[in-house]
Structure 1
């Protein structure tokens, strides 16, 4: 009970800082990128850039929670998170909403993700195989902004290999998941099959979910601010986030969109579970693993707050008010513990006030 009270108090403090200190910093960065997109480049690319910022702002807000990690300068880190997440969201729009289904084009575009995280690498021509080309320097500027912040991280050399591994997996997922529905599933299974033997506890589509999160990249960047970071700590963070915390993040995201995606025919990893019972069982399992792993990490209270926050943020979404989703939501919250329930109640309140 004492631990729960301490966690609740620290969680409330963190959430307060997150909303009143970090959200305004995110807004400030996004204004800069919106202005850049509006004033540069051809209309088709500018429209996709502006749409990605408008509809996916919450991705930047969520990733920016790592600016509250111990020893991290908030303003600099928000700049990094917003730039990298904006690359991710912009490329998602280019692959999903511009009438293009070309694997080569998608793969070339996503070199921006790995270039952004590797200051020593030469820049690529990201639009070389894409139908539209002139963005007025928007994507290059986002990549360079990430690089400018990464060179400030004293221990980046320790996390670079794992960050680039996760970025490549993320890019491969985005390349395959946006292909024509007639070929994408088999292409994805062929790709996943080469990686899955390392992860015997999860299914192919759970692996795909884990590759779809940027949280592990953000956490590793935050940890790299610590000049005393060790290789052992990096290994623990990598194992905690991939596949568990990353996977929980994206599975919850797909869970709340499941009914919507079923109607629209969009790919949804949670829909591959056999039934609602299996959905509940596997999401519960990922939640347990994520919490167990979080407890082993440096700054474990922060890590546990992140995991509880994932439950709270996603399960407080009004989409979970549908009868089947509500039943699963309530059982997931029961399994997640008092801290997650407390944060869930706060998120519900914040949604009512249109703060979230």
Structure 2
């Protein structure tokens, strides 16, 4: 890792042998970007959406080498755009423009844009280069790093996709100034996750720096993003294709995806993950394998950061059906990422549904 205190630039390397790549963290699209992008191929396509383009497309275009052929393809805003229809439309754009196998795709946007652009890159002409420019906190600390690319299917999130690593990731904290408080909080849910599963000291740092994070202080944000990316880079380097350790990054996601699937119009990914994390911790608390004090620390931190800690009302059968579609299910048996203490978690197979349901029920908001 390298740092420049004046421009808040950090560099983290994701170590994957010939597929290794850098993550650059800075404050804004700055004068160093043209140099970092000087080796782009002749044909470049920026994939974004209209909301993001209004803020950041012009600075990115200005940083590109002037002699490149640059296309811009804007998708719709929202999770529904992460679809096979959007995928096909981008493919049509690239084919109609005669883009070759040595072209590059630039993903400018949040997780939807990054996941979709990455899947297009993985499959266009059997694989072309792509670069991530994540503009939401959730994308900066999670989806832009690690090479998971996908589109959704009516049967579930991210069911169609591939592991495909970017050539580089460029993260700028100034992009976060245009996020709503709600979207910003959703990213913080993933930041908290890293402390729960991997780094107790980082969790304590988050507790101590809540006010600065919520104020979006650039230096505080840069450190939170850097540490989150360092943790994810370490995990991905050790387990690129999620055969073991990488599964820990799914803390709260099995429960969270069930909430998202049923309440996709009103719940965001980070909000669902926050509640899923509370359910997972509460389950372990009921098993007397997680302390009351650690449980309360998690709930308190999530609440203080503006995140929900209670699940919406959902029928027990729907919980089961949605969770059975989780990608961690193996041979029909559900597997969960569960914290054993702050800073450590593990994957376990649980066959006693009643114990899981007890934890869900205890964390469900009751309106009666």
Alignment TM-score, normalising by the size of structure 2: 0.31
Bigger helix fraction = 1
Bigger strand fraction = 2
Alignment TM-score, normalising by the size of structure 1: 0.32
